[in-house]
């Protein structure tokens, strides 16, 4: 098969619709990691993904009779868009079965290219089964998103471009893996011409079907598949793709959700382009490779495979990126329930910036607070933080998925005290040390019964504070006026009444 797939790649017909995408040097990343880091920009395709290559190569080779029946596919989105555009170009009817979890931006794009969309199931495998049912009834030609030699050959043209565009030294190429079409095509071409180049597959930890197949020696179905990076959320690697890839891939690296989020941020910082999680998967693996091998002065290329992401998903990406960069730690801390304890704890953090501070009064003796702390990105930064806080009772929640997804947003509840509380919202200019300065200004006149703060990267920090000062409203108002921070009395705010009173 090696020689035949190379011939197919060389003969692939993709440029009627696809473009030759550039290699972009990631300047900031290269300087930061001491390696030449380069991105292959498949996010710049007309459908914002490499999938247009394989889809067009496949259907451009169908017979007139086959084209007359139309084409059908199952896809999490990127293959769907590629096939929809390819079908429109050739005047062919296309039906695409997509998981119901597919981002709206991909579904709407497919419909925009004129294809009929059927939403079914939660992941690719369920969509695939439904597409087979429809195909049996309609007689349409099934265009597989990855496990087809013509599709693989179309994706392999990326390998041709990489070697043509970068003539000099290449130490390793990092390729994201879902069903394996991109991996098989690019790996086979690179290894055929440049066997000295390492080819490294990268896939999410919760969708590592290629890793499982390598360990078993054959494709195996995963019991569960994580869908955060839906573009590579495949339960079993293709038989054709595995047969080609297994002999052309040097290693496989798995990455976490947080690491992919950090890579999305890295790509944005260097290119101002926003990728989907699957699109940043290869870069996340590249960074992990440097971290684990200590690579220096190497030329490393990561394929940015796509940029089809719902805008509202960026909230989650932003929330997790700092954790993925190891620049933020999440901890639970117990401190004495007494005026001034907040301030003392913040002073123990020294110069570290607080990114989040959640607290609700529940016990007269001891307070439990949820804290996000900005780290320097050094591998031992979290250890140093925990060591500096050794006088406190601490639980490190940085790797606790439940804490990051749920607990941080649910801290609150009703006040367990007869003293009652007054609620105020504050604003202060956001800069390092601003929160500590605010706490010092707030002082210890009254017991703080609630405190919520999250650094969102805005120019101003926003805090919601509860003070046990019922009956002393006039004194509190005079005190807060003298502080000089803009504030609002939220005691009678409807939402606060519902959830805090």
Residues 57 and 6 in one domain: no
The domain tally of the chain equals 3
Does 62 map to a domain?
yes
What is the percent of the chain where pLDDT is above 90? 51
Q: Which of 60, 131, 188, 305 is catalytic?
A: 305
Is there a domain that residue 318 lies in?
no
Q: What is the pLDDT of residues 171-210, one digit of tens each?
A: 999 999 999 999 999 999 999 999 999 999 999 998 999 9
472: left (phi over 0), alpha (psi -120 to 50) or beta: alpha
Count Cα neighbours of 234 within 13 Å in the Cβ-side half-sphere: 29
Residue 234: which of 287, 176, 185, 189 has the closest Cα? 176
User: Among the three residues 245, 279, 309, which one is the final residue of a domain in this structure?
Assistant: 309
Least confident of 69-78, 348-357, 386-395, 469-478: 348-357
What is the predicted pLDDT for the residue at 355? Answer: 79
What pLDDT is recorded for position 501? 66
pTM of the predicted structure, to 2 decimals: 0.78
- Residue-number span of the structural domain to which 89 is assigned: 53-142
pLDDT (mean) for 2-20: 92
* pLDDT exceeds 60 at position 58: yes
**Is 170:194 a contact under the CB 8 Å cutoff?**
yes
- Do 137 and 153 sit in the same domain of this protein? no
309, 342, 359 — which closes off a domain?
309
CB atoms within 10 A of CB 367: 23
| 106 and 162, same domain (yes or no) | no
Q: What percent of the chain has pLDDT over 70?
A: 92
Chain centroid to CA 420: 42
CATH number (domain holding residue 68): 3.40.50.1100
Position 493 in a domain: yes
Domain assignment present for residue 316? The answer is: no
Does the pLDDT at position 154 exceed 90? yes
Confidence check: pLDDT of 222 > 80: yes
> Residue 379: pLDDT above 60?
no
The number of angstroms, rounded, from the C-alpha of 374 to the middle of its chain's C-alpha atoms is 20
The verdict on whether 51 is a catalytic residue reads yes
The sign of the CA dihedral 251, 256, 260, 263 is: negative
- Helix (H), strand (E) at residue 370: strand 366-374
Task: Answer whether residue 284 is part of any domain.
Answer: yes
Mean pLDDT of the chain: 87
The reported pLDDT for the residue numbered 183 is: 98
Contact at 8 Å (CB) between 269 and 28?
yes
Is residue 358 domain-shared with residue 452, that is, in the same domain?
yes
Q: Last residue of some domain: 281, 309, 337?
A: 309
Q: What is the per-residue pLDDT across 173-184, written as a single tens digit (0 to 9) for each?
A: 999 999 999 999
Exposure string (b/e) for 51-77, b if CB count within 10 Å is 16 or more? bbbbbbbbbbebeeeebebbbbbbbbb
Catalytic residue among 8, 51, 246, 265: 51
Residue 282 domain-assigned?
A: yes
Pair (295, 339) in one structural domain: no
Run of H or E including 426: strand 422-429
Q: Do residues 268 and 359 both lie within one domain?
A: no
Asked if pLDDT for residue 159 goes beyond 90, the answer is yes
36 and 93 in one domain?
Answer: no
Confidence of residue 443 (pLDDT cuts 50, 70, 90): low
pLDDT at residue 432, as a whole number = 63
From CA 413, how far away is CA 424, in angstroms rounded? Answer: 16
Q: State whether 179 and 102 are in the same domain.
A: no
- Taking the CA atoms of the chain, what radius of gyration do you get in angstroms? 27
CATH number of the domain within which 402 lies: 3.40.1020.10
Contact 202, 282 (CB under 8 A): yes
Predicted confidence (pLDDT) per residue in 324-371, tens digit: 777 788 888 888 878 778 778 877 877 777 778 887 777 778 878 888
34: left (phi over 0), alpha (psi -120 to 50) or beta: left
pLDDT value at residue 460: 66
- Claim to verify: residue 333 and residue 454 sit in the same structural domain: yes
Residues 92 and 122 in one domain: yes
* 198 annotated active-site: no
Give me the sign of the Cα torsion angle 217, 222, 226, 229.
positive
20 with 7, same domain: the answer is yes
- pLDDT tens for 425-441 read 887 776 666 777 777 77
d(CA 348, CA 484): 26
Rounded to 5°, the CA angle 242-248-252 comes to: 75
Residue 317 belongs to a domain: no
| Residues 136 and 175 occupy one common structural domain | no
In a domain? residue 121: yes
CB 161 within 8 A of CB 42: no
Give how far Cα 122 sits from Cα of 113, 136, 165, 313, Å. Answer: 23, 22, 39, 17
């Amino acid at each position: 098969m090696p020689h035949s797939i190379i011939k197919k790649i060389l003969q692939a017909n993709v440029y009627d619709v696809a473009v030759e995408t550039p290699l972009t040097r990631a300047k900031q990343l290269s300087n930061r990691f001491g390696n030449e880091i380069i991105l292959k920009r498949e996010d710049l395709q007309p459908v914002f993904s490499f999938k247009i290559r394989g889809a067009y190569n496949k259907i451009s080779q169908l017979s007139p009779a086959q084209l007359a029946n139309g084409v059908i596919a199952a896809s999490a989105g990127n293959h769907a868009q590629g096939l929809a555009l390819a079908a429109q170009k050739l005047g062919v009817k296309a039906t695409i079965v997509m998981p119901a979890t597919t981002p709206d931006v991909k579904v709407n794009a497919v419909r925009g290219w004129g294809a009929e969309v059927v939403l079914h199931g939660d992941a690719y495998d369920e969509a695939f089964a439904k597409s087979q049912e429809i195909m049996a009834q309609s007689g349409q030609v099934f265009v597989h998103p990855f496990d087809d030699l013509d599709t693989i050959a179309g994706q392999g043209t990326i390998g041709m471009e990489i070697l043509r565009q970068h003539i000099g030294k290449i130490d390793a190429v990092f390729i994201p893996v879902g069903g394996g079409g991109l991996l098989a095509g690019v790996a086979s071409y690179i290894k055929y011409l440049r066997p000295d180049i390492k080819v490294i597959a990268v896939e999410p930890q919760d969708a590592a079907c290629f890793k499982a197949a390598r360990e078993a020696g054959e494709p195996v179905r995963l019991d569960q598949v994580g869908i955060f990076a839906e573009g590579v959320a495949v339960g079993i690697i293709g038989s054709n793709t595995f047969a080609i890839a297994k002999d052309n891939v040097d290693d496989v690296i798995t990455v976490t959700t947080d690491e992919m989020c950090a890579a999305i941020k890295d790509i944005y910082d260097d290119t101002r382009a926003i990728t989907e999680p699957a699109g940043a998967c290869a870069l996340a693996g590249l960074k992990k490779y440097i971290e684990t091998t200590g690579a220096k002065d190497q030329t490393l290329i990561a394929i940015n495979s796509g940029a089809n992401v719902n805008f509202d998903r960026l909230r989650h990406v932003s929330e997790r990126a700092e954790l993925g960069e190891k620049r933020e730690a999440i901890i639970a801390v117990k401190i004495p329930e007494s005026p001034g304890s907040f301030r003392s704890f913040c002073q123990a953090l020294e110069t570290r910036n607080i990114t989040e501070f959640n607290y609700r009064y529940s016990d007269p003796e001891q307070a439990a607070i949820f804290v996000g702390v900005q780290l320097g990105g050094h591998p031992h930064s979290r250890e140093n933080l925990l060591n500096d806080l050794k006088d406190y009772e601490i639980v490190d929640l940085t790797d606790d998925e439940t804490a990051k997804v749920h607990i941080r947003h649910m801290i609150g509840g009703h006040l367990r005290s007869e003293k009652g509380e007054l609620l105020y919202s504050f604003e202060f200019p956001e800069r390092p040390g601003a929160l500590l300065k605010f706490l010092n200004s707030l002082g210890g006149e009254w017991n703080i019964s609630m405190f919520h703060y999250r650094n969102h990267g805005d120019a101003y920090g926003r805090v919601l504070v509860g003070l046990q000062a019922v009956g002393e409203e006039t004194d509190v108002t005079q005190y807060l006026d003298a502080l000089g921070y803009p504030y609002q009395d939220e005691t009678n705010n409807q939402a606060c009444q519902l959830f805090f009173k």
